[in-house]
Chain A
Amino acid sequence: MSKSKTVDIVQKKDPVVVEDIQMTYRVGKVDVRAVRGVSLTVKAGEFVAIMGPSGCGKSTLLHVIGGLLRPTSGRIFIDGVDIASISDAERTEIRRRKMGFVFQRFNLLPTLTALDNIELARQIQGNGHVRNHQTTEEILGLLGIADKMHHKPSELSGGEQQRVAIARSVVSRPAILLADEPTGNLDTDNSQMVLQMLQDLNVKYGQTIVMITHDPEAASTASRIIEMRDGRILNRVQNLFYAMEQKRV
């Protein structure tokens, strides 16, 4: 009794609480169990990196947290609301108000300029609550791409596109920034720059971030690393072991 009460308090406080998530895809007659019972909590202001080999269920988990997918079973509380048990429209609304996404493939709208990409996100997300924050131009200025704001994505380098995408993801000050291998398509220099940006957002603005990455270097910018295998999170001991293994290599 008293235990469940504490859980409730924790759930209200933390932006992301995942409880025993299972996600099974049905491919023809075969079930693919992509996530097999994951529980985790992300505290406000945390920068969490999720690592693990390809196909271990990282993206699926991120999509479930972001409300892009409904899990087969389990609960996900976003600021205290269980988004696994609400309608598609309500989940869209949570996504609109609380989530920012950054993808490996940048995913800017190709027909719009950098500025318009950001403005559209602002428009969709409703700009009432960001009035007193930076204008889009200022944000692009901070990211060092102010001179490129009237360029279309095809006229920008990968690194520049990803910087625009990050600007777009945080323009409405989301509670949670979800990044799926944001440096996966970038060279070392641009990767460094993007990671620096994420770290700055986390440190200077207290932005809560969950980032998937392959790259231990990238993961090391996070404040916590979660290791996944076969749809599960490895426990701390396994994590430590994994870290030592990595050092030895």
Chain B
Amino acid sequence: MLKLICSNLFQRPTRTGVSILAVSLGVVLVLVSVGLSYGQLTDNANRMRRIGGDFMFQPPNASFFFALNSGTLPIRFREVINKVEGVQEATPVLAKFIGDKFHLIYGIDKESFARVNETLRFVSGRHFEAPNEAIIDTNYARSRHLKVGDRLELLNHPFTVVGVYEEGTASRVMIPLATLQELNGTPDKVTTFFIRAKEKRALDTVYQRLKERFKDYTITRTADLQEIMTANTPVFKQFVAAVVFISVAISFLIILLAMYTTITERTREIGILKSLGASRSFIVQLILRESLLICGAGVVLGFVLAAIAIKLILTAFPSMPVNITASWRLFAAGMALFGGILGALYPALKAAHLDPVKALGYE
């Protein structure tokens, strides 16, 4: 049967190729878009978590996507938060999304940040001391070919790179809070506070106290960030659902069209198979396996094209986090095959139920 399937596929190389390509594009669509958004979410969540705060404090109805709300929280909240029993330190962060470079920068308060954080490790240089000094992470340094002493222009303002820290904590670029407040035109405003509790055992109690004290404000446990961002971000879920739907639809439609055309052209051959005694299930399997082969090739090509696409994206935006997990790959492959099988089902059943005499061309 395999010989027959392959010879059929090679008989129509253009159609087979186009079908494979179409299926692969569906796979690429899922992998790249989900990989980018999921990568962004998990990477953001992880780096925020590693700042060291146990809680995040944000204005009412705030988003975790700092790009959307930069500098709306008055800095004076800091004293009030610090007075809550069980809170060790609240460090303010002003986040700013730099559109032309496609990444976030944080303005931080060096002293309080150091009291909250335990992970910031410099691989070269030192922390910033002057207003126009910046520190960057290793990823940023590598991808932009920057080192200590280099100039870096941010928000049309010249900075000097004075330190490079290991990637994985906070944003890729950090500058003094006051400098960013001024450049952003939001003096005395910040995006969020990262709050460290005195004791890890008392987290629940501190959380309750914070919630009571600041009823309308958004208080989030940083441990829940990743889950909240991936699972409970409705936009993400709907986005993934839409992308997966499009991908399945592409597979479904292309296979439906290809197989329908194929069985129409090969009516006579189906009649011949029937005259040889081929059962309906044989014919159904023939068509299903043929489409599975197309989809399988599409999945493989899709993986390759996705890898190339990611490479190109990373060349253009080197600090872009991409996270294509094995389970996402499996899911994308499964969906492409699922769409293909679904699309092949109708042609397969139609072929299996052809009248052999009519199919052989007797009328």
Given contacts A69-B357, A110-B269, A124 and B276 within 8 Å (CB-CB):
yes
A99 to B274 alpha-carbon distance, docked (Å): 11
Does B185 count as interface, using CB distance less than 8 angstroms?
no
Whether A107 and B268, one on each chain, are in contact in the complex, defined by CB atoms closer than 8 angstroms, is yes
Q: Which residues of B contact A99 (CB under 8 A)?
A: 277
Instruction: Please choose the segment from B2-10, B142-150, B303-311 that sits at the chain A interface, where 4 or more of its residues have CB less than 8 A away.
Output: B2-10
Judged by a CB distance under 8 angstroms, whether B360 is at the interface is yes
A120→B10 CA distance, assembly (Å): 18
A92 touches B274 (CB 8 A): yes
| Chain A binder among B69-77, B110-118, B235-243, B278-286 | B278-286
Q: Which residues of A contact B268 (CB under 8 A)?
A: 107
Do A92 and B357 touch across chains, with their CB atoms under 8 A apart?
no
Contact of A92 with B4 in the complex, beta carbons under 8 Å = no
Partner of A120, one of B3, B360, B361: B3
Whole-angstrom CA separation of A109 from B268 in the bound complex = 9
Pick from B11, B276, B279, B280 the residue with the most CB of A within 10 Å.
B276
- A79-137 residues with Cβ-Cβ distance < 8 A to B are 88-89, 92-93, 95-97, 99, 101, 103, 105, 107-112, 116, 119-121, 123-125
- Chain A interface, number of residues (Cβ within 8 angstroms): 30
A-B interface pairs (CB < 8 A), number: 70
The contact of A111 among B4, B274, B282, by CB within 8 Å, is: B4
**A111 vs B268: C-alpha distance in the bound complex, in angstroms?**
13
**Residues of chain A with a CB closer than 8 A to B356's CB:** 68
> Provided the pairs A63-B357, A92-B280 are in contact, do residues A101 and B7 lie with their beta carbons within 8 angstroms?
no
Query: A199: which B residues are within 8 A, CB to CB?
Result: none
Chain B residue numbers with a CB within 8 Å of A116 are 3-4, 7
Q: Assuming A107-B268, A109-B269, is B277 touching A97 (CB within 8 A)?
A: yes
Name the contact of B4 in the complex, choosing from A59, A89, A103, A112 (C-beta under 8 A): A112
Q: Contact between B278 and A124 (Cβ–Cβ < 8 Å)?
A: yes
State the interface size on chain B (CB cutoff 8 A): 25
User: Judging by beta carbons under 8 Å apart, are B7 and A124 in contact?
Assistant: no
Q: What separation, in Å, do the CA atoms of A51 and B187 have in the docked complex?
A: 104
Establish whether residues B269 and A93, one from each chain, have CB atoms under 8 Å apart when the complex forms: no
Given A59-B362, A68-B356, A107-B360, also A112-B277 (CB < 8 A):
no
A86 to chain B, nearest CB (A): 14
- How far, in angstroms, from A63 to B8 measured CA to CA in the complex? 28
Contact flags (1/0) for B346-363 with A, using CB distance below 8 Å? Answer: 000000000011001110
Chain A residues near B276: list those with CB within 8 A. Answer: 96, 101, 120-121, 124-125, 168
In the bound complex, CA of A161 to CA of B361 (Å): 18
The CA-CA distance from A63 to B275 in the complex, in Å, is 10
A92 touching B277, Cβ below 8 Å: yes
Is the pair B280, A120 in contact by a Cβ cutoff of 8 Å?
A: no
Shortest beta-carbon distance, B290 to chain A, in Å?
A: 12
Min CB distance B78 to A, Å, is 76
Residues of chain A contacted by B275 (CB below 8 angstroms): 66, 68, 95, 101, 103, 107
Q: Which residues of B contact A63 (CB under 8 A)?
A: 357, 362
* Given A120-B3, A124-B282, A95 and B360 contact (CB-CB distance below 8 Å): no
Question: Which A residues touch B282, using CB under 8 A?
Answer: 124
What residues of A have a CB within 8 angstroms of the CB of B274 in the complex? Answer: 68, 92, 95
B16 → A minimal CB distance (Å): 12
Closest B residue to A152 using CB positions:
B7
Return the chain B residue nearest A105 by Cβ: B361
Which residue of the partner chain B has the closest CB to A102?
B275
Given A109-B272, A112-B4: A96 and B360 interface contact (C-beta under 8 Å): no
Greatest chain A CB density within 10 A among B8, B272, B278, B280 is at: B272
When C-beta atoms are compared, the residue in chain A nearest to B359 turns out to be A68
B279 contact set on A, CB distance < 8 A: 89, 92-93, 96
Contact string, B75-108, partner A, CB cutoff 8 A, digits 1/0? 0000000000000000000000000000000000
Q: A68-B357, A69-B357, A124-B282 are in contact. Are A95 and B4 (CB under 8 A)?
A: no
For window 54-80 of chain A, which residues contact chain B by CB distance below 8 Å? 59, 63, 66, 68-69
Report A-chain residues with C-beta under 8 Å of the C-beta of B271.
107
> When chains A and B are docked, how far (Å) is the Cα of A50 from the Cα of B356?
22
CA distance A112 to B8 in the complex (A): 9
Cα A88 to Cα B356 in complex, Å, equals 11
A246 to chain B, nearest CB (A): 27
CA distance A98 to B276 in the complex (A): 10
Closest to B282 in A: A124
Bound state CA distance, A125 and B259, in angstroms?
A: 25
Q: How far is the CA of A168 from the CA of B272 in the complex (A)?
A: 11
Question: Within residues 227 to 275 of chain B, which ones have a CB less than 8 A from any CB in chain A?
Answer: 268-269, 271-275
Sample (22) of A-B pairs whose CB atoms are under 8 Å apart: A59-B362, A63-B357, A63-B362, A68-B356, A88-B280, A92-B277, A92-B278, A92-B279, A92-B280, A95-B274, A96-B277, A99-B277, A101-B275, A103-B360, A109-B269, A111-B4, A111-B8, A112-B7, A123-B1, A124-B273, A124-B277, A168-B276
Beyond known contacts A92-B279, A120-B1, A124-B282: 5 more, CB 8 A cutoff: A68-B275, A68-B356, A110-B269, A121-B276, A124-B276
Which are the 9 A-B pairs with shortest beta-carbon distances? A96-B277, A111-B7, A95-B277, A101-B275, A68-B356, A107-B272, A111-B11, A121-B276, A124-B276
